[in-house]
Structure 1
Amino acid sequence: MNRTTLPHDRAPGSPQPMLAGEKSSTEMFLVKLFAVVPALALAAAVPLAWGWGLGWVDIGLAAFFYTLTCLGVTVGFHRYFTHGAFTANRGLRIALAVTGSMAMQGPVVGWVADHRRHHAFSDREGDPHSPWRFGTSGRALAKGFWHAHMGWMFDREQTNAARFAPDLLADRDIQRVDRLFPVLTAVTLLAPALAGGLISMSWWGALTAFFWASLVRVAVLHHVTWSVNSICHMIGDRPFTARDKSANFWPLAILSMGESWHNSHHADPTCARHGVRRGQLDISARLIRGFELLGWATRVRWPKPERLARNLKGNTA
């Protein structure tokens, strides 16, 4: 992947149209199903937790699948496929596409196209999920928060992958993974239940694992990811110069695996590390470093002092 010619780096006046028609009725139904059902499971989690239906096996499985699928999104879908922050060998490339798909946030090509479009038009007309879309009044920002957090997914407009992700459309391996998204959705929901059943040797263990490590885990990951779109474009620290209102929001740093250092990311989108300042924990960057040491990832774009200094606010050099 050539990091210098990624589609989201092109000028907004590209001859390719920004949208590619509308999502089908089936796609809209699945978006609502995947957004609403895990959220309902999360709402039911609190009373369920009192006294029954939750054990260490459920917690362990939920933590394992959360970490696996979250890193699939942060390292794979985001830093690698969207921004080309490093070069991956074929095995790692396919593995990142598979584990990212298991987060149930949509097929890899559509996810990447949406995010590259976000960066091309961040907090401006054309951004699919800016919280500033409706204005700056209290009412407008409340509406904008909902839109950026999850409302944008219910819009029927579909980002044109031919414009924003032609590299992935031309990749046969990634196209196969993209088409397997329904199968990988079934895997990410059923694997925890199977593991819970086998570990406990009971149907009850399978049921509780399905609830906590499948439904609740997916819901939590969804809302953490969506919070980067909403909260991290509204409140937080902005030490670096960016074209938009992206902000660093430290309370989400661990759950988002480093994605909530969002101002740093928007100031230097292709950088493999988002938590670039002292004390900013970035688990995704640590994993990329591990891949680099193993020889699976090369040409990693690590932060450079001169680039950081150039992007700092108040620097007139």
Structure 2
Amino acid sequence: MAVILIFFVAHWYLSLFFQTFFLHRYASHKAFTMNKFWEKVFFVLTWIFEGSNYLSPYGYGVMHRMHHAFADTEDDPHSPKYDETIWNMMWKTKTIYSDIANRKLIPDSRFTEGVPQWEAFDKFARSWPSRIFWAGIYITIYAVYAQYWWLWLLLPVHFLMSPIHGAIINWFAHKYGYRNFEVKDTSMNFLPFDFLMMGESYHNNHHKFGNRPNFGGIRWHEIDPTYQVIRVLNRLGIIQIAKHKQMTIDDIQKQRAA
């Protein structure tokens, strides 16, 4: 049982890390830079840890830029304001993402400029043989180590992990939580201490300062785990953090008092 639970938690957080670090903060927002060698390394690591859920950095990056540009409008790729259920939103998101990744939808250049592309690898990583390969690994691990029937209930989550990560933020963080900033959309900070989504749930902060590498840091309890890893990678010279103003709650209060 312990092996399955460890595997599940490891897959959850490692998949989530590469989604927020590489797809979101790098591909979408260029919160930091890296050279082409490390970019390709992170392409491969994203494939390994997202596995059967691998998302194209190009497809994700372009779609997420569209989300920021059109947040909570009819042109938003995913908005609870215009989708009746979370399932409708997830299906709409999948359709738009697939059209972008497959080059069936050609967006404005402002959404594609600088988004990392490695078409040959993307085509392989998103292929059915790749997805089936990873599915086989997941099923084998459960067949060997799942001692109780109820552990098998976790298996489907492995196949939907990346969409689940996205849905949690794109649905719940536009409905529930608190706001540090009044912005033109419904984004909220879903968790006061983000132990579940590695900083992604500080969604209101992120919609205010889209290019900041640190999604937390506004209030004392807003600790962004992914940003701590980013700081280490920056010190090692693997990435270079772009310079952005680190606004605190004191700055906000001064602005409100002015």
- TM norm structure 1: 0.65
C-alpha separation in 1, matches of 2:71 and 2:32: 23
How far off is 1:73 after superposition? 0.3
Match of 2:170 in 1: 229
Match of 1:89 in 2: 35
* Structure-2 change in CA distance of 1:285 and 1:165 (3 Å): same
One-letter amino acid of the structure 2 residue matched with residue 280 of structure 1: E
One-letter amino acid of the structure 2 residue matched with residue 152 of structure 1: K
Q: Is the CA contact 2:213–2:241 (under 8 Å) kept in the aligned structure 1? A: no
Q: Is 2:257 the counterpart of 1:257? A: no
C-alpha separation in 1, matches of 2:182 and 2:254: 5
For residues 182-206 of structure 1, the C-alpha deviation after alignment (integer angstroms, 9 at most, x for no partner) is 2553454344456x48xxxxx6338
Specify which of 198, 208, 226 is matched with residue 267 of structure 1. Answer: 208
One-letter amino acid of the structure 2 residue matched with residue 179 of structure 1: K
C-alpha separation in 2, matches of 1:313 and 1:131: 33
C-alpha separation in 2, matches of 1:123 and 1:94: 33
Match of 2:66 in 1: 117
Specify which of 43, 46, 57 is matched with residue 100 of structure 1. Answer: 46
C-alpha separation in 1, matches of 2:112 and 2:80: 24
Specify which of 168, 171, 175 is matched with residue 119 of structure 2. Answer: 175
* Structure-2 change in CA distance of 1:124 and 1:184 (3 Å): same
Specify which of 112, 120, 139 is matched with residue 165 of structure 1. Answer: 112
Gaps of 5+ in 1: 1-54, 135-142, 198-202
SS at the partner of 2:173?
A: helix
Q: Is 2:227 the counterpart of 1:285? A: yes
Q: Is 2:56 the counterpart of 1:151? A: no
* Structure-2 change in CA distance of 1:250 and 1:94 (3 Å): same
* Structure-2 change in CA distance of 1:89 and 1:192 (3 Å): farther
In the comparison of the two structures, how many residue pairs are matched? 243
Match of 2:17 in 1: 71
SS at the partner of 1:305?
A: coil
How far off is 1:107 after superposition? 2.2
Task: Name which of structure 1's ranges 184-193 and 222-231 shifts more when overlaid on structure 2.
Answer: 184-193
One-letter amino acid of the structure 1 residue matched with residue 14 of structure 2: L
How far off is 1:300 after superposition? 3.5
How far off is 1:298 after superposition? 0.7
How far off is 1:90 after superposition? 2.9
Q: Is the CA contact 1:110–1:161 (under 8 Å) kept in the aligned structure 2? A: no
Q: Which has the larger radius of gyration?
A: 1
Q: Is 2:253 the counterpart of 1:304? A: no
One-letter amino acid of the structure 2 residue matched with residue 271 of structure 1: R
C-alpha separation in 1, matches of 2:79 and 2:214: 23
For residues 157-184 of structure 1, the C-alpha deviation after alignment (integer angstroms, 9 at most, x for no partner) is 9354553224347x4xx22332122255
Task: Name which of structure 1's ranges 98-107 and 271-280 shifts more when overlaid on structure 2.
Answer: 98-107
C-alpha separation in 2, matches of 1:162 and 1:156: 11
How far off is 1:151 after superposition? 3.5
- CA RMSD, aligned part only? 3.3
* Structure-2 change in CA distance of 1:233 and 1:105 (3 Å): farther
How far off is 1:244 after superposition? 1.0
* Structure-2 change in CA distance of 1:146 and 1:168 (3 Å): same
C-alpha separation in 1, matches of 2:10 and 2:122: 23
How far off is 1:116 after superposition? 0.9
How far off is 1:82 after superposition? 0.3
How far off is 1:274 after superposition? 0.6
Q: Is the CA contact 1:247–1:261 (under 8 Å) kept in the aligned structure 2? A: yes
Gaps of 5+ in 2: none
Match of 2:237 in 1: 295
Give me the identity figure in percent. Answer: 25
Q: Is the CA contact 2:188–2:204 (under 8 Å) kept in the aligned structure 1? A: yes
Q: Is 2:184 the counterpart of 1:243? A: yes
Match of 2:157 in 1: 216
Match of 1:10 in 2: none
Q: Is the CA contact 2:32–2:241 (under 8 Å) kept in the aligned structure 1? A: yes
Q: Is the CA contact 2:178–2:190 (under 8 Å) kept in the aligned structure 1? A: yes
* Structure-2 change in CA distance of 1:121 and 1:265 (3 Å): same
